A and B are shown apart, each in its own frame.
Chain A
Amino acid sequence: EADIYQTPRYLVIGTGKKITLECSQTMGHDKMYWYQQDPGMELHLIHYSYGVNSTEKGDLSSESTVSRIRTEHFPLTLESARPSHTSQYLCASSGLAGRNLAHSEQYFGPGTRLTVT
């Protein structure tokens, strides 16, 4: 069972509002990720972090920003939401797997379904 949490699960918000999607994990993972996914479609990496105070942009250009002030917390912020931001946002984290420290498994949170009207 993955201990990674996202809030809110669903959010409907008007155009121009600032929103922050929360993600936290209690597995002690150093790496965290944000993906954007339209229903039933492929996953697009938008941000990732390999540790505190480290953030990188992913493959898909995004108008969102992220911060990593604490190991367990990786919030994503949209300064001014637009209808084109309507999507599902998935947070994930990865860490060392079991007995072999060279192996790394990645776990996903349940997602936040964002609708911008």
Chain B
Amino acid sequence: GQQLNQSPQSMFIQEGEDVSMNCTSSSIFNTWLWYKQEPGEGPVLLIALYKAGELTSNGRLTAQFGITRKDSFLNISASIPSDVGIYFCAGRTGNTPLVFGKGTRLSVIA
């Protein structure tokens, strides 16, 4: 089946630094979604992307839908302690269920 490779698996950064993470797929997707999950909670949708090349921002977060439709990245600018959590990418082709990456675990050192 389809697989998503999400990297890095974990990150330890200083408060104020920018963060970048990405996902690559072995097949083409027509939807990319980015989620953040905090301990004990369900994932929260951050950004949805539907068009190749699309660049979308949500506050300090920016995500892009890769031109090849096989990748996406998420950037967080000027990180703060509340950015801590697990970030998941997810992609979909057609009407199939989402395929999820294994997550990037972000730690922010104040």
Q: Which of B19-27, B38-46, B62-70 contacts A (4 or more CB under 8 A)?
A: B38-46
Give the secondary structure class of A's interface: strand
Which residues in B have their C-beta under 8 angstroms from that of A58?
97
Which residues in B have their C-beta under 8 angstroms from that of A97?
48
In the complex, which range does the number of interface residues on chain B fall in? 20 to 34
In the complex, which range does the number of interface residues on chain A fall in? 20 to 34
Most central of B31, B42, B45, B92 by chain A CB within 10 Å: B42
Which residues in B have their C-beta under 8 angstroms from that of A100?
50
Tell whether, in the assembled complex, residue B41 and residue A48 are in contact, meaning their CB atoms are under 8 Å apart: no
Q: Which of A13-21, A38-46, A62-70, A78-86 contacts B (4 or more CB under 8 A)?
A: A38-46
Q: Pick the residue among A2, A48, A103, A108 that contacts B97 (CB under 8 A).
A: A48
In the complex, A79→B32 CA distance in Å?
36
In the complex, A97→B40 CA distance in Å?
27
Beta-carbon contacts under 8 Å, A103-117 to B: 103-111, 113
A74 contacts B by Cβ under 8 Å: no
Which residues in A have their C-beta under 8 angstroms from that of B88?
43
Interface digits, B81-104 against A, CB 8 Å rule (1 contact, 0 not)? 000001010101001011011110
Beta-carbon contacts under 8 Å, B1-58 to A: 1, 31, 33, 35, 39-45, 48, 50
Offer 20 A-B interface pairs, CB within 8 angstroms, sorted by A. A2-B45, A40-B39, A40-B86, A40-B105, A41-B103, A42-B103, A43-B100, A58-B97, A59-B1, A90-B43, A97-B48, A102-B50, A103-B48, A105-B33, A106-B33, A107-B45, A108-B35, A108-B43, A108-B44, A108-B45
A residues adjacent to B (C-beta < 8 A): 2, 6, 33, 39-43, 45, 48, 50, 58-59, 90, 92, 97, 100, 102-111, 113
